[in-house]
Amino acid sequence: MNIISEKIMSIGVVPVIKLNNPERDAVNLAKALCDGGVPVAEVTFRAAGADKAIKLMRENVPEMLVGAGTVLTTEQVDKAIEAGAQFIVTPGLDEEIVKYCRSKDIIIYAGCTTPTDYHTAYRLGLEVLKFFPAEQSGGLAKIKAMSAPFPMFKVMPTGGISLKNLGEYLSCPVIAACGGSYMVTADLIDNQKWDEITELCKKSVEIAKEARNNG
């Protein structure tokens, strides 16, 4: 497994971030995440200026591992790479984007929730898959069931993850890490509640450690 995936696994949680005001919030948010022991972020292209946010985080908080999420086109891959993104996340499995990321030598976590997705991911040589939307697609029960014919994959579920079910997910050895937005909600970011974000990250790290130790 590559170094980036190993680092993400060691953290256990990946905040999925939509920034409406990157100039104001990107650096402060990155610092709040790091203060909480979660030096990683998936900045989604669902908001304009995602590439700007990635660039600000990478330049001002170098200890952060920053990736681009909700990537739908190769043009967005180029924007993310130019901004300094260290990994790409797609909501679905797009063979063209996977192959393009390979040609650009950047890690991609593609969204996979069906046996067909998994089989295609296997053929493409992927190791870690995004499972989205996790809860709505069958949750941990389905992830475990899918791991029987496809034991070679680690999975990063995203969608419906919270402090309440984080430990349950992370106690499963198939899970690499969990993506979530509960610690970076619009309310928390838009109202600049950096201390609350830090505390939610600290709680997440505690849950992750306990789950991994008992899993």
Among candidates 6, 45, 64, 16, which has minimal Cα distance to 189?
Answer: 16
Rounded CA separation 183/79 (Å)? 26
Q: Which two tokens stand for residue 11?
A: 């953290």
**Residues 71, 52: contact at Cβ < 8 Å?**
no
**Residues 29, 17: contact at Cβ < 8 Å?**
yes
Query: Where in the sequence numbering do the catalytic residues fall?
Result: 42, 130
Place of tokens 């901004």: 83
The amino acid present at 151, given as its one-letter code, is P
DSSP secondary structure of 83-150: HT-SEEEESS--HHHHHHHHHTT-EEEEB--SHHHHHHHHHHT--EEEE-STGGGTHHHHHHHHHTT-
